[in-house]
Chains A and B, each alone.
Chain A
Amino acid sequence: MSRSQAAKADARTGAALDVERIRADFPVLSRRVHGQPLAYLDNAATSQKPQSVIATLDRYYSEYNANIHRGVHTLSEEATAAFEDARRRIAAFINAGDAKQIIFVRGTTEAINLVAQSWGRGRLRQGDEIVITGLEHHSNIVPWQMLCEQTGAKLRVMPITDAGEIDLDAGRKLIGPATRLVAVSHISNALGTINPVAEIVRLAKEHGALTLVDGAQAVPHLAVDVQALGCDFYAFSGHKLFGPTGIGVLYGRAALLEQMPPWQGGGDMIKVVSFERTVYNDLPYKFEAGTPHIAGGIGLGAAIDYVQQTGLDAIARHEQALLEYATAAALRIPGLRLIGTARHKASILSFVMDGIHPHDLGTILDHQGVAIRTGHHCAMPIMERFRIPATARASFAFYNTAAEVDRLMAGITAAQKVFT
């Protein structure tokens, strides 16, 4: 592909976003790797952080670092206000209705484990069923397997098609009166498929089953409205949303969260403790034992501010243009096979090459400053489904450019030269 094509793609997406200005907000994007400018195309693993997030963390630690809740001194009051303000902004970001429905956790994985254990462990019996899909990350498989082992419930899996879409016709037959919960990813991390979550939630509701949506890959790419989706739980991580690592969110329907027992015991999750009896705290603190990741929560609030200022609609338009451009370029490379060709996809390009193992490709691309991920992407059942050991995966964020896509494709061509 030519430079002018790349410029055209940049121009096309440039209408939506001023990418050069955005790139200047992300300090790491100006570094070099192996003497080449970094082209960071591993955003599905974790995203880079804008200066505003980094400065927010710095400000918390340098100006008002203190433990939150119950402190009567100034620093504690400031930290508490900032942390709770972040919670309110997160609630608004996914239209949660009430900030008490936002529970801070370490990440998506912890959120799903919380639901599996707090909601599921005391409730499920032999004969009950949990339904997941063939597109899930290990974090939306293993917690349910553990729950099934503990309770005797059964795990059922909606199959996927050759395009990497959930086979809804087959899925419909799996959801029935025995189904207690359906857990589904909003967007597949390995293939990029955007799943018909609202439809799956409707199906689950018809049979009285609850729903949990793993939104780790969705919140950076599309506007999420948990009330419009109608799901009972929604989980996501801060670090994929341009925020800090170690902080994430579980949203839950208030009535459900009220009924659920605490998951971990400790400080902050109680009202009164004596050796005879403990009275648990109200939502959301009931589920937040111990000192939370205060800086992380405040930093996530700053990341959400950044995303909202940029605008998720503009972000989605830019990323879709990049995905189209990259897909067309990839299809022109002989010996390249895309894995995951769903009709509705986020900006993730998973592929395999004839005669080149993904790990060799990853090393060769790294030498040209192009960072992609190679391997099973914590989704071994998907690799099994497509009978491949691994894929190479380029995943784009709104700060990526068509010129970076060109460098990816040039790197792939260079790798082909090494191996022929």
Chain B
Amino acid sequence: MMDLKDLYQEVIVDHNRSPRNFRAMADATRSLEGFNPLCGDRLTLYVKMDGERVSDISFSGSGCAISTASASLMTDAMKGKSREEAEKIFKSFHGMLTDSAPPADPAAFGKLAVLAGVREYPSRIKCATLCWHTLHALIDGANAPVSTE
């Protein structure tokens, strides 16, 4: 059985209490809304692109600790990344939470590894992945809001 502390690690609690990059961005290149109708979590993701590179990224909205910490950690991880790199991180993060086997080397995920414990809580995986799906759609050029359902 998972210890609750593996889910609500210090880092997650800290990012929930003081989320990084938590602001609306007036001069964003693009923004997109993400919504989880099951729990009412709602966020807006903003990116400023410098050519193919994410020069700035932020989010606003309200959600649970898992969803807020995930968005905070994700925006930190995405700054300065190219479109291609961002896509790669999205895929591996998604795999970390949804692949049938846990990641062989969690350390490879850097700070994002603190979210690996969420995979033990099937009802909470969508909390962690909402912002990531929104980012994926945003980078893909989608205009319609993203929903987890």
Contact = CB atoms under 8 A, between A and B. Distances in A.
Interface string B62-78: 11111000000000000
B38 A375 contact: yes
A363 B62 contact: no
A390 B39 contact: yes
B1 A376 contact: no
Contacts of A355: 17
Chain A CB count within 10 A is highest, among B7, B38, B65, for B65
Contacts of A35: 1
Give 9 closest A-B pairs by Cβ, nearest first: A389-B40, A357-B64, A359-B64, A360-B65, A390-B40, A367-B4, A360-B64, A418-B8, A359-B39
A317 B124 CA distance: 37
Interface of A: 34-35, 355-360, 363-364, 367, 374-376, 380, 383, 389-390, 418-419
Interface string B1-29: 10010011000010011000000000000
A34 B1 contact: yes
Q: How large is the interface on B (under 10, 10 to 19, 20 to 34, 35 or more residues)?
A: 20 to 34
B8 A360 contact: yes
B127 interface: yes
B42 interface: yes
A374 B65 contact: no
Contacts of A390: 39-40
Contacts of B66: 359-360
Given A356-B65, A359-B66, A375-B39, 10 more contacts: A358-B64, A363-B4, A367-B4, A374-B39, A375-B38, A376-B40, A390-B40, A418-B13, A419-B13, A419-B17
B87 interface: no
Contacts of B62: 389
B1 A389 contact: no
Interface of B: 1, 4, 7-8, 13, 16-17, 38-42, 62-66, 121, 123-124, 127
Given A359-B127, A363-B7, A389 B42 contact: yes
B13 A375 contact: no
A389 B8 contact: no
Chain A CB count within 10 A is highest, among B1, B8, B66, B124, for B8
A357 B65 contact: yes
Contacts of B123: 363
Contacts of A376: 39-40
B139 to A, nearest CB: 26
B42 A364 contact: no
B40 A364 contact: no
B70 to A, nearest CB: 13
B59 to A, nearest CB: 16
A360 to B, nearest CB: 5
Contacts of A389: 39-42, 62-63
Contacts of A358: 39, 64
Given A374-B39, A375-B40, A376-B40, A357 B13 contact: no
Contacts of A357: 63-65
A375 B41 CA distance: 10
Contacts of A363: 4, 7, 121, 123-124
Contacts of B39: 358-359, 374-376, 389-390
